[in-house]
Amino acid sequence: MAPRRGRVEMRRIEDRTSRQVRFSKRRSGLFKKAFELAVLCDAEVALLVFSPGGKLYEFSSVSSLESTLDRYQTFTNAENVVRKLDDNAQNRDEEFALLEANSKVLEIGKRLVETNLAEMNAEELGKLEEDLCSALKWATSRKKQLMTGSLNRPEKELLPIKIQFATSESCPLRPSKDHLILGCSILLSTF
């Protein structure tokens, strides 16, 4: 009866001769598995192994290792190009959204400055309130992004004083009537 193989402890083999013998056997087994993978699964396999002494051992399932390495380089370069294009597209989308939000806030501010609130009817005031709420939500969201994205600190340290807004069904961040004018002037002064 053959002796059972035990679990091998994964650490460097101290004895130089034993290490070289183990390297040779493991390398042969690795190359055998690479060959089997290539034959059984019709995969293109390339394998490079450097011995502790610096000797190169290579295996390729196709005619030359260089063709597989060229294919790998082409693949990784194409993947990097696609990743960069995706990043650029995402940046353009974010810039567009930022410009759109900025123009909306400027439009609201201009409308607020040009109109007399006393002359507005209930419907116009409601529309103005909705626009102010959406601008306030955007500004709050952007502020949180900047503060949490640029600094790696807990929110408690960043915002020691939180302004509590009254909640309602139409606008969860709607300020009280006393803070409406103050909030508008702050929004206008920041843009």
Cβ 159 vs Cβ 108: under 8 Å:
no
pLDDT for the residue 153:
45
What pTM was computed for the model?
A: 0.42
Between 94 and 165, the higher pLDDT residue: 94
Q: Which of 22-26, 109-113, 127-131, 174-178 has the highest mean pLDDT?
A: 22-26
If one counts every other C-beta atom within 10 angstroms of the C-beta of residue 107, the result is: 12
Give the three-state DSSP class for 145: helix
Give the CA distances from residue 11 to residues 8, 52, 138, in Å, rounded to whole numbers and listed in that order. 9, 15, 55
**Cα 167 off chain centre by:** 33
C-alpha to C-alpha distance for 156 and 166, rounded to whole angstroms: 21
Could you tell me the pLDDT band of residue 22, with boundaries at 50, 70 and 90? Answer: very high
pLDDT for the residue 177:
45
The domain limits of the chain are: 16-62, 69-146
pLDDT for the residue 1:
57
Summarize pLDDT for 37-75 with one digit per residue, the tens.
999 999 999 999 999 889 999 999 998 888 888 888 888
Q: Going by CATH, does the domain composed of 16-62 fall within 2.40.30.70?
A: no
